[in-house]
Amino acid sequence: MNTMKKKLVIKLLLLSVTLAQENNFFSLSILSDISFSSKDSSFNSSGLEFVAMGNLSPNAHVMAYFHSPIDGDPPTVEEVYVNFMVAQIKLGYFRPEVGILNKTHRHTFNFISSPNAMNYMFGLHSWASLGIKINQELPTPWKSNIGMNILQNGVGEGMNMQGHSHGLSPTYVDSVDGFSSLITLNNQFNLYGDKILFLGLNYIDGRGKEFSGGDFKFINRINQFSSWVVQSEYFIGNISSLHHGISYHPDETLSAGYFMVGRQFNKKYHLGLLADHWSYKLKATQGTSIGLYGDYVPDEDNLVFRFKLMKDKQTDNDGMYGIIEMSWSLGSHKPKRY
């Protein structure tokens, strides 16, 4: 994002904050974490994340996410957009609602970090783009809606902010012009009791790339703080050089998916299993990971302790490692979700 665009985003945010305060609703939260990994025997932190939200009007809601790393990289804008709720329009710089995890921010993960397969598909910090989304409810007996997006970037392409890339490899200027289009179809089935099934389909085309996939999530909610969750996503697409450069080679196919089952026992304890697999046809590479994860909330949901024990099987890494993490927040935006 160039200097002019960054200044424009900052001015829009300040204007949004001012207008939101005039409507008597505005909140600012600060989140951070510290972790230790046996993989490199070191302490790490993602830095500080600032989450601002407020109302421009009764039917227009603003969300803004800013990330400030501690490794010397400049601060980055993760998302800043306006939701026009009556018209069901989202406008700004946002993470497209493709699947489940891409739109979810890392600090709310029970399992600390996104599965390797999703990192290869969407990038280490998820995929975001300038664009517009229009949502339309469908006349079905169950809750169903179709989303239509016009986006500046293709899947996995990251903004390059003064050398800080949100991709798996250095970001290059794509030689393909034009926009990307994303169509999502999401369905929610309320089953007997408090059981809910979510099913989604996704298709992306444009900027010399093509991508499709599906996702499902099943929740058996026992009470407010106890539930079973089963969740999975799978995507396949013709992707170029892990998302950057010229349009794809005919054999340059990346497929990625994961499966997760988790149990929230009560307000304090969560435990789950997570497995993922990815394969990259052109370079004949693939990887599989399986792990155990969990979290513990000692008192309130603004402080969470998490762990992850993983076994990775890849061409360049075949070993087990563990991560422990403490996440905290100040403000209304919490790192623990139920």
pLDDT, tens only, 25-38: 788 899 999 999 99
d(CA 135, CA 122) in angstroms, rounded, equals 22
pLDDT confidence tier of residue 238, bands split at 50, 70 and 90:
confident
| C-alpha radius of gyration, the chain, whole number | 20
What is residue 12's predicted lDDT score, i.e. its pLDDT?
A: 53
Least confident range of 114-123, 154-163, 292-301, 302-311: 154-163
- As a whole number, mean pLDDT of residues 49-74 equals 89
pLDDT confidence bin for 251, thresholds 50/70/90: low
Confidence of residue 277 (pLDDT cuts 50, 70, 90): very high
List the single range of 2-6, 67-71, 192-196 with lowest mean pLDDT: 2-6
**Torsion 37-40-41-45 (CA) sign:** negative
Task: Kindly report the backbone phi and psi dihedral angles of residue 34, in degrees, each rounded to the nearest multiple of 5, phi listed first.
Answer: -145, 140
Higher pLDDT, 167 or 113: 113
> How far apart (Å, rounded) are the C-alpha atoms in residues 126 and 257?
15
- Say yes or no to pLDDT of 334 above 60: yes
Residue from 34, 74, 61, 38 nearest 166 by CA: 74
Q: Look up the pTM and report it.
A: 0.84
* 115: phi then psi, degrees, rounded to nearest 5: -55, 150
Q: At which residue do the structure tokens 């794509």 appear?
A: 174
pLDDT at 244 over 60: no
Would you say residue 94 has pLDDT above 60? yes
Q: What is the mean pLDDT of residues 104-108?
A: 91
Arithmetic mean of pLDDT, 298-321: 84
Q: Give CA 291 to chain center in angstroms.
A: 20
pLDDT at 1: 46
CA-angle at 169, arms to 112 and 113, nearest 5°: 5
308: tokens are 């992850």
Nearest to 120 by CA among 262, 231, 281: 281
Check pLDDT > 50 for residue 177.
yes
Pairing of the two strands 195-206 and 209-223: antiparallel
How confident is the model at residue 3, as a pLDDT? 55
> CATH top-level class for 88-330?
mainly beta
Q: Please check the confidence at residue 170 and state whether its pLDDT lies above 80.
A: no
Predicted confidence (pLDDT) at residue 176 exceeds the cutoff of 80: no
What is the reported pLDDT for 169? Answer: 38
